[in-house]
Amino acid sequence: MRDKPVIMLVEDDEFAADLAQEALNGDYTVQHAASGEEALVALQSSTPHLVLLDVSMPGMSGYDVCREIRNNLQHSELPVIFLSGMVGADERLAGYEAGGDDYLLKPMVPGELRNKVARVLKIRDEQATLKTELSGAFATALTAMSSAAEVGAVLRFLRASFACTNYEAIAREVLRVTQGHGLDCSVQLRGEQGAVARNAEGPCSPLEESVLTNMANQGRTVDFGTRTSFSYPGATIIVRNMPKEDPDRYGRMKDNLALLAEGADERVTSLDGEYRLSQQQAALKRLIDGTRETLHEIDKQRHSQRQATSRIFSDFRITLERSMLSMGLKEIQERELAELAQHAVEQALSLYNADSTSDAHMAELLKQLNQA
């Protein structure tokens, strides 16, 4: 059964107090205090839902009591309805300035009293509900802003990683993100160009590096003790102080750190691809340079051979002509022999002259190699 709301009635007039209690007892639990001082003492040990406060009392007035209530953090939002035989504009203004919620004219009419009490309590309930909803909305907004900031840090890492030209630079960017979240981390990056392991202080110790290497084969996300590891083929991040005391942030951190590790892994893969391409380009350049030098040498040798062959035939013709003078040959025989020798020389030289197409191809190939 739901407890009745508690009403504190502060009234020095016994008749008025009895009348109010009779009007309220069916729906409320009424606590009576005969003076303002007595009411303040009672409030030290109890918190009613509403205070009915007589304005004119010996000692502290109702206005003074209301001010004391408003100055007390525990009761600062406690609803107060003033009771007074005078409810003019001045009295209402004084009650408002003292912190009251409503005014009720004495002598009290039971029905009006019940209606005012019910209305003020309903308003305070609605205010409490709105306050709770506002607090929830504010907390949700803060969570959303925190989540956006955390995801934004990962996105900034991805942008920054495009400018990283080695594993060390990627590791520094990873640690920049984790330190921004207040996390104590180590990171290892592995690829075709070796491995790098770092923490916030610098290179990891051999033991720490061995743990990173071991966790690389244990799964994408692994909790062990107070630590959590996030691993991909080319990257492992170990966090030593995950915020497990805050389940919401812990969940967000796990998601974002997994994205961070995946992004680092992708950049390592990209760097390795760039490295392979540069190696292939270097090998191709060496091949082109070597081929160009070889073809230059072949071209020089062919020119030298052509010149040497031409000299040999020229010397042969001169030697043959001298020899024919001492051989006692008839003129017709000398002419026939000279023609045979000349024909053989021309045929041999024509082989070199017919090779002009090959020379053009060789020249074009050398031109292209020089441009490459």
pLDDT at residue 40, as a whole number: 94
Q: Tell me: the pLDDT tens digits for 121-130? A: 998 888 888 7
Q: Tell me: the pLDDT tens digits for 304-354? A: 877 777 787 777 777 777 777 677 777 787 777 777 777 777 777 676 665
Q: How far is C-alpha 338 from the geometric centre of its chain's CA atoms?
A: 94
The confidence band for 141, taking pLDDT boundaries of 50, 70 and 90, is: very low
Q: Coil, strand, or helix at residue 53?
A: strand
Q: At what angle do helices 247-326 and 110-161 cross, to 10 degrees?
A: 20
Has this prediction a pTM greater than 0.75? no
Q: Which domains does the chain have, with CATH numbers?
A: 6-133 (3.40.50.2300), 142-270 (3.30.450.40), 278-371 (no CATH)
Q: Coil, strand, or helix at residue 126?
A: helix
